[in-house]
Structure 1
Amino acid sequence: MGYDTDAAAEQPITELTSEESWQLLGSGALGRLALSVSGRVDIFPVNYVVHEGKVYFRTAEGTKLVELTIHRDVTFEVDEISENTGWSVIVHGTARRLQKLSEVAAADELPLRSWLATPKFNYVEITPTEITGRRLVFGNEPDR
């Protein structure tokens, strides 16, 4: 996806379309899952894959999985930064642990492999309710 940084210099923050946001979300590999339980927000880095309009990741038993069963509403963020530009995509949605054998078998076929040498037998699916994104062009702060 080409981007005209000269034109963007006059507008350093550009709202992305839904289509652009989905394309960038699909190009990433590491995102941040934000959960709020009992008034406290936790953020977990997870590797993920996008498939048929949903976000999937694997996790072991623990805090993340427990919190998802308490409060299924989540926020998922992905970003990328280069020397002069960056982007960020935020997904709001509902998460659930895949439990049906057919769902787990289908998730096993996705190109989603654990980055850490720890067993992760649980698949989580995020169904987005909203996706937004921004493209950023970095530069010097204007004179005050």
Structure 2
Amino acid sequence: MTDHTPVTELTTEACWELLHEQELGRLAFHLADEVHLVPVNYAVDHDRRLVLRTAEGSTLLGLTMDADVAFEVDEVTDDVARSVVIRGRAHELHGAEADAVDQLPLRPWVDGVRSTVVAIEVDELSGRRFVLHRPWLHLRQNPPV
């Protein structure tokens, strides 16, 4: 019998560390009577806000109509997973605040113009670390070269 706990809470600092390490997360927002979930590139600014760029469309419309959002990021290895969930409020940045985002490692993975800068003010932050038990991993076949 082992002495470890398979699920542990991450400290606040460990949550921020994971957020700084990653650059792709999932943003959940309301649009009319529906909840939407979209992958987004993001960065963390010096005020510990998540910042992202978006274009005109459903994401921006949803964030404009209802600022309450949730955001989630994961990291998974063969034997450990970490997950951080944020709840907060999104708002558009303008002027010098929006220009300052150019100094962050925020780069889109897909071509396109995303001229609107959005910041998520964090109200709640939580994270967990999971020790994985996946004995079937040895059954994975190596992909063909």
Bin for the TM-score computed over the shorter chain: 0.7 to 0.9
Q: Deviations over 1:62-98 (max 9, x none)?
A: 0000000000010010001111110100011110011
CA distance in 2 between counterparts of 1:75 and 1:7 reads 34
Residue 3 of structure 1 corresponds to none
Cα distance in 2 between the residues matched to 1:87 and 1:109: 27
Tell me if structure 1 keeps the 8 A contact 2:31–2:58: no
Code of the aligned partner of 2:54 = T
Counterpart of 2:41 in structure 1 is 47
Structure 2, unpaired ranges of 5+ = 136-145
Output the TM-score relative to the length of structure 1.
0.86
1:4-83 aligned within 5 A = 8=4, 11-52=5-46, 53-83=48-78
Q: Which residue of 2 aligns with 1:130?
A: 124
Equivalence for 1:97:
92
> C-alpha separation between the residues in 1 aligned to 2:77 and 2:116?
33
Residue 7 of structure 1: CA displacement?
5.2
Aligned positions of 1:101-116 closer than 5 A: 101-116=95-110
Counterpart residue number, 1:84: 79
Same amino acid, percent of matched pairs: 41
Aligned length: 133
Measured in 2, the distance between the counterparts of 1:75 and 1:34 equals 5
- The TM-score, its normalising length taken from structure 2, stands at 0.86
